[in-house]
Amino acid sequence: REVYTGMQEMSEVDENLIVVGFSQVGSESDWRNAHTQSVKEALTEENGFYLIFEDAQQKQENQIKAVRSFILQEVDYIVLAPIVETGWEAVLQEAKDAGIPVILDDRLADVDEELYTCWVGTNAEKEGEDAGLWLADYLEKEGRDEEEINIVTVQGTAGATAQIGRTDGFQKILKQHDNWKMLDRMDGDFTQAKGQEVMETLLAKYDDIDVVVCENDNMAFGAVDAIRAAGRTCGPDGDIIIISFDAVSAAFDAMIAGEINAVFECNPLHGPKLQEIITSLEAGKTVDKIQYMEEAYFDTTMDLESIRKERAY
């Protein structure tokens, strides 16, 4: 059996290996890199897999091309981390027609559920809600629960599950607080550079920001840089509260340094879960359609040094 490795070269693959084509979003964040590493470490030849990895560089058209190339190569499974939720119907129908099971990973696709076997990922709406509940609790403890609170959001890639869920979840809690005002929301595309740029714009536009909700850690790092460059302060001892999502190792450093107040975890270690799902499917078992990762949250009141030692990303 021969498959392409990368888009060009052909390789002979041992007949006994399960061939998996994985279309990854890109390498836009620390979270994404930890996610890629986890999948690569689980779907190894030693574990009985042959992984064809395609990095879409944050472009849906590249993901569609990758899925079509996986179909042509007659892979056994397709794992797709869809950059945005829309636009997948046609290519996933092609995979179905070719009889190749598709596992959606990390983000959802807005398609008929017959077009995919299952989905593994984060409950982004719950993360957003948890962030809002944390803020309400924090403000109450600070004696600021009656104050006017001005909030801005640095959003993830528009239309991505993590963006939609975190925005909607936080909005749900915001609506319960008449004194909270969302001044603005801007797209930071989940990258540090864009997060910094967007925060610079927001700081130039508003001089009364109390809270910044950053829809991932890398955008939070960029926002912190912008705030400090503007001569402002943030974190538990500063004048702007920073809330973030992911909980990568560098976010622990930022909380320990007093730059970020709280981080809501998005667990990137999907590799073992994908391995388990494919192994079950190979054994003819059915798997749960929706599979959430276990997640927690962290803030500066916790023993972050000890927690970080126990973590792998």
* Min CB(81)–ligand AHR separation in Å: 7
CB of 73 to ligand AHR, least distance (A): 26
Report the site for ligand AHR in 206-225 (rule: CB under 6 A): 216
Q: Please report whether residue 190 would count as binding ligand AHR according to CB under 6 A.
A: yes
**How many CA atoms lie less than 13 Å away from 122 in the CB half-sphere?**
30
Q: How far is the CB of 107 from ligand AHR (least distance, A)?
A: 5
The interface region with ligand AHR, picked from 25-33, 205-213, 225-233, 283-291 by CB under 6 A, is 25-33
Number of residues that bind ligand AHR (CB under 6 A): 12
Tell me which stretch binds ligand AHR (CB under 6 A): 9-17, 27-35, 193-201, 288-296. 27-35
Q: Which of 54, 106, 129, 197: binder of ligand AHR (CB under 6 A)?
A: 106
Question: Which lies closer to ligand AHR via its Cβ, residue 29 or residue 38?
Answer: 29
* Contacting range for ligand AHR; rule: CB under 6 A; set: 26-34, 72-80, 203-211, 234-242: 26-34
**Which of 266/281 has CB closer to ligand AHR?**
266
By CB under 6 A, name the one of 32, 185, 194, 270 that touches ligand AHR.
32
Binding mask 245-264 for ligand AHR (x = CB under 6 A): xx------------------
Give the footprint of ligand AHR on this chain (CB under 6 A).
28-29, 31-32, 106-107, 162, 190, 216, 245-246, 266
